[in-house]
Structure 1
Amino acid sequence: MEWIKIFDSEASAKATIPLTKARAVVVQGQEICVAHTAAGLFAVDNVCPHLGDALSRGTTNYLNEIICPWHSYRFHLQTGQECRGRTQPLKRYTLEIREDGVYVGMPEKAPALEPFSD
Structure 2
Amino acid sequence: MQWIKLFDSEDEAKKQIPVTRSIAVVAAGQEICIAHTPSGLFAVENLCPHLGDALSRGTTNYLNEIICPWHSYRFHLISGEECKGRTRPLKRFTLETREGGVYVEVPEETVESQTSAS
TM more than 0.5: yes
Which amino acid is the alignment partner of residue 42 of structure 1? F
- Residue type matched to 1:19 in 2? V
Distance in 2, Cα, partners of 1:72 & 1:2: 32
Runs of 4 or more, structure 1, over 2 Å off, are none
Query: When you count helix as a share of all residues, which structure comes out higher?
Result: 2
Structure 1 residue 10 and structure 2 residue 16: aligned? no
Q: Residue by residue, what CA displacement relative to the aligned partner does 1:22-64 show, whole Å, maximum 9, x if unpaired?
A: 0000111121000000110000000000000000000000100
Matches within 5 A, 1:20-99: 20-99=20-99
Aligned-residue CA RMSD (Å): 1.3
The one-letter amino acid of 2:71's match is: H
Secondary structure at the aligned position of 1:53 is classed as coil
CA shift, 1:69, in A, is 0.2
Unaligned runs of at least 5 residues, structure 1: 113-118
The TM-score normalised by the length of structure 2 is: 0.92
Larger radius of gyration: 1
Which amino acid in structure 2 is aligned with residue 16 of structure 1?
Q
Question: How many residue pairs align between the two structures?
Answer: 112
What is the percentage of aligned positions where both structures have the same residue?
72
Match of 2:116 in 1: none
Distance (whole Å) between structure 1 residues aligned to residue 30 and residue 97 of structure 2: 21
**Mapped partners of 1:109, 1:26: distance in 2:** 15
Find the residue that maps to 1:5 and give its secondary structure: strand
Deviation at 1:109?
Answer: 1.8
Query: Which residue of structure 2 lines up, in the alignment, with residue 115 of structure 1?
Result: none
In structure 2, give the amino acid aligned to 1:4: I
Which consecutive unaligned segments of at least 5 residues does structure 2 have? Answer: 114-118
